[in-house]
């Protein structure tokens, strides 16, 4: 039995206010960041599979332990997602072109209208391979600055919503300009996916909930679920990552309904950085995602909190505490007391295939901590007769490990590259399509 502390909302809010007062938002890494392995504290991970009088089984995991872990992650990290469905979500096909990407794909732009009165909608961009003999497998993920950033296709609508300012990529006055077209096309590799027979679906995360440092939970999906008189989530209710994950599931609803073009059992969710955290939480909660991919997700994503290496809770709470539930702030500089750790999040994906990717020059995300979390999640896969990670030794750069859990450490920076996609496609070929790889 894990004993967990009960948290007081007023003390959490006081802590957050104090942390905000200590710092201003800055791209510089905090001076107390640890990058020295010799300074990683001795730690003991909370048990993934609790032992009792009976040996753990697939059934005991499924019926008892897995729900316990999801509940703990809800209460102390991401917050509980509302279980009630919206009364009516309207899916509107706004544009269709069967000659996109040099006639290799059909482009669909779909508006997922969540609240007509507030004009709250998710604008979905979907590329589907042309000429497929059967419904296509699909990768789905959120983007940071609008669908127009993922490819220079001039017909992609420029997202009109608020965005965090970034003049380097054409975000001026918190709005995207035409200069944002295709600025992140390497992160998405649309032609490569289409050529390999995969569809690609993406939407701007800010359509669901703005990634705004001055977040007040008033201009995204949260108000759609408030009780009378409520103006913000309670201490154990969902933050922005929870909202983004919820939005991914609403996109999944649409993709599954497109079963004549998208294979409903072959949909992979993928995310980078904070959206990698989101992909993991979406995949953990929604088992309809057939494969889950985390790219450089780091603290609050795939890496272990208890290593206290690179980014830590107090680093995130200062500028972006709204990503998580309010309860999470209670564990700033107290990671060893957190009732969960991220191997538990990864284990919730079992027995579905899971891929974790790190980068050598992204120590902020703690690549070793990401690998060790994947390794510690492997026993959940073993209960299903799956391999988990195929090795207990962290591989050198650019030498991927592909079990039912895949992992690679890529040379380079915090990014998504063609190399990363090569591994994801190979992994998906094996696990979604049953194609053998060189190592099989």
Q: Check if the beta carbon of residue 113 is closer than 8 Å to that of residue 89.
A: yes
Lateral strand order in the sheet of 405-410:
90-99, 105-115, 120-129, 199-204, 136-143, 262-272, 291-295, 354-359, 405-410, 401-402
Which strand (E) or helix (H) includes residue 11? helix 9-22
What tokens does 358 get? 């790190």
What tokens does 422 get? 């090569």
Residue 303 appears among annotated catalytic residues: no
Helices (H), 264-396: 274-285, 313-320, 342-347, 367-382
Q: Of 273, 297, 358, 378, which one is the catalytic site residue?
A: 273
> What gap in Å lies between CA 143 and CA 209, rounded to an integer?
12
Residue 273 appears among annotated catalytic residues: yes
CA angle 47, 75, 141 (to 5 degrees): 90
Q: Give the gyration radius of the chain's Cα atoms.
A: 21
What is the pairing mode between strands 120-129 and 105-115? antiparallel
Helices (H), 23-149: 58-60, 66-73, 100-103
Q: How far is CA 156 from CA 6, 100, 254, in A?
A: 48, 10, 19
Q: Of 60, 71, 249, 414, which one is the catalytic site residue?
A: 414
Catalytic positions: 273, 414
């Amino acid at each position: 039995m894990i004993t967990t502390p009960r948290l007081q909302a007023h003390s959490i809010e006081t802590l957050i206010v104090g942390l905000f007062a200590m710092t201003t938002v800055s791209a510089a890494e905090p001076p107390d960041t640890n990058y020295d392995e010799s300074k990683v504290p001795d730690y003991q991970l909370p048990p993934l599979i609790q032992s009792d009088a009976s040996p753990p089984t697939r059934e005991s995991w499924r019926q008892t332990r897995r729900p316990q872990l999801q509940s703990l992650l809800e209460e102390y990290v991401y917050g509980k997602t509302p279980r009630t469905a919206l009364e009516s979500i309207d899916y509107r096909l706004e544009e269709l072109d069967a000659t996109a990407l040099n006639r290799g794909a059909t482009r669909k732009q779909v508006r997922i209208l969540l609240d007509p009165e507030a004009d709250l909608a998710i604008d979905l961009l979907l590329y589907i391979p042309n000429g497929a003999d059967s419904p296509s497998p699909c990768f789905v993920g959120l983007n940071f600055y609008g669908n127009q950033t993922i490819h220079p296709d001039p017909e992609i609508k420029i997202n009109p919503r608020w965005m965090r300012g970034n003049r380097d990529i054409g975000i001026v006055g918190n709005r995207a300009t035409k200069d944002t077209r295709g600025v992140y096309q390497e992160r998405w590799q649309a032609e490569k996916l289409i050529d390999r027979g995969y569809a690609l679906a993406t939407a701007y995360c800010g359509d669901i909930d703005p990634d705004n440092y001055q977040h007040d939970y008033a201009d995204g999906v949260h108000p759609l679920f408030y009780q009378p008189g409520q103006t913000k989530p309670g201490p154990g209710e969902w933050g922005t990552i929870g909202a983004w994950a919820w939005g991914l599931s609403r996109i999944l609803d649409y993709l599954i309904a497109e079963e004549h073009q998208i294979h409903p059992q072959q949909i992979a969710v993928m995310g980078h950085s904070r959206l990698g955290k989101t992909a993991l939480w979406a995949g953990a909660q929604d088992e309809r995602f057939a494969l889950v991919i985390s790219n450089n997700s780091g603290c609050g994503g795939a890496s272990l909190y208890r290593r206290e290496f690179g980014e830590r809770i107090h680093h995130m709470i200062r500028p972006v505490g709204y990503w998580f539930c309010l309860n999470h702030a209670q564990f700033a500089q107290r990671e060893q007391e957190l009732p969960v750790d991220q191997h538990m999040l990864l284990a919730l994906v079992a027995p579905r295939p899971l891929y974790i990717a790190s980068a050598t020059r992204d120590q902020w995300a703690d690549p070793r901590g990401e690998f060790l979390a994947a390794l510690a999640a492997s026993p959940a896969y073993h209960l299903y007769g799956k391999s988990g990670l195929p090795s207990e030794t962290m591989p050198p750069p650019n030498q991927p490990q592909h079990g039912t859990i895949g992992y690679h450490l890529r040379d380079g920076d915090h990014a998504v590259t063609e190399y990363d996609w090569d591994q994801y496609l190979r992994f998906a070929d094996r696990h979604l399509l049953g194609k053998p790889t060189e190592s099989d």
